[in-house]
Amino acid sequence: MYTWQRIIGESTFVLHDHKNASLQGKIERTFRNQAPAPVIGSCGTTDHVSTMPELSQLDDFLRIQSHGTDSDDDTEAHKDNETGLRDIHLEDGRVWSNTLYMDVYGIPEIWLSYVSQTTRVANIMDYLDETSVQPTRTFQECLQRKTAQLENRICSLSAQYSTSGELSPPRDNQNRCTTSKPTMASRAMMRAMTSALLILFYRRIRKVHPFILQAHVNDVIAALKDFDLAQDVCDIKNPGTPWPAFIAGAEAMSTTSRDWLMGWMQKGAMQSAFNGFTASQQVMREVWEQRDRVDKSMEKDVRSPPEQRLTGKRRKDAYSWVDVSREGNFWLMLY
């Protein structure tokens, strides 16, 4: 439960103090070090870094790793039981056969590991964008290689859960009820989570335009519809997690998609005392308003003389929830 809450919570934490002297020193040492089997997102650290608890930051385990493995040779390897028990932050990218995530959440541990890795890579890239630090060429090559490796793994995982429309109205609710909750609902939510993870990766890491992600937004919506249908079979009122709906909703461009995802969040808010459903709505609306405002400005811009047109720096057509969180100085938690 700690690992779930920490990694999901930190996936939407973007209020990093990039000018913190202690943190800068640790990251710069990471850049200079050349480890033989670097961990994704960090590309190697020194033992000296891991023995400095007085300098620890909230997101250190997602920023800088001092142990674990993620080398190309270990892609299909499995963690031994002792490593699996101690790897509470999922720094080790290998599979652990004794994990309990499917039993507790209906979500495989490897999915949560990819969320952790995506967040770590995004943190490093944000740091490089916000500071004048120049990493070594070795580090840059490592980061590019590991990012491509992570992309392939996330896409492969998503392909395993890409089948939609697998639920149909039951002929006998009484007989279907025992299986719909643990299997159909869980699989539908897993489809939503993997599609949302793709969106998270391509927006935070690849920084693609939201237009390219609309098919994945639709996949999240289809999966959440199946999740609701599976729960209706047994008349269960479980709101699920707002995480996939928020990640997709913040990138939704069509009015139909936005309205449906907003409605799903509003329904969750009525079923749960958790503030994540309500806070998500506010952020999504802010993102949509900013983008729509820019769209209107660009329409006018096209008809304006060249000397009066907006510059690229002033355009915010790719405005995101990250911008809203940073400008509002708040942390949106979506367990």
Give 61-107 pLDDT, tens digit per residue: 454 443 334 444 455 688 899 988 888 888 777 888 888 888 888 88
- Return d(Cα 214, Cα 267) in angstroms, integer: 23
**How far does Cα 172 stand from its chain's mean position?**
37
**Which tens digit of pLDDT belongs to each residue from 172-196?**
444 556 555 557 888 999 999 999 9
pLDDT attached to residue 234: 77
Residue 126 has pLDDT above 50, yes or no: yes
pLDDT attached to residue 305: 61
Q: What is the mean pLDDT of the chain?
A: 79
Neighbours of 6 (CB within 10 A): 21
Is 111 strand, coil or helix? Answer: helix
- Return d(Cα 38, Cα 309) in angstroms, integer: 46
Q: What is the mean pLDDT of residues 206-229?
A: 96
**Which tens digit of pLDDT belongs to each residue from 133-172?**
788 888 888 889 989 999 999 999 999 887 644 444 444 4
More confident residue, 194 or 3: 194
Handedness of CA 215, 216, 221, 224 (dihedral sign): positive
Handedness of CA 321, 56, 85, 144 (dihedral sign): positive
Residue 220 has pLDDT above 80, yes or no: yes
Identity of the amino acid at 149:
Q
**Which tens digit of pLDDT belongs to each residue from 10-66?**
999 998 877 777 767 766 666 666 443 334 444 544 333 343 444 444 455 454 443
pLDDT attached to residue 178: 56
- Return d(Cα 248, Cα 220) in angstroms, integer: 7
pTM here is 0.83
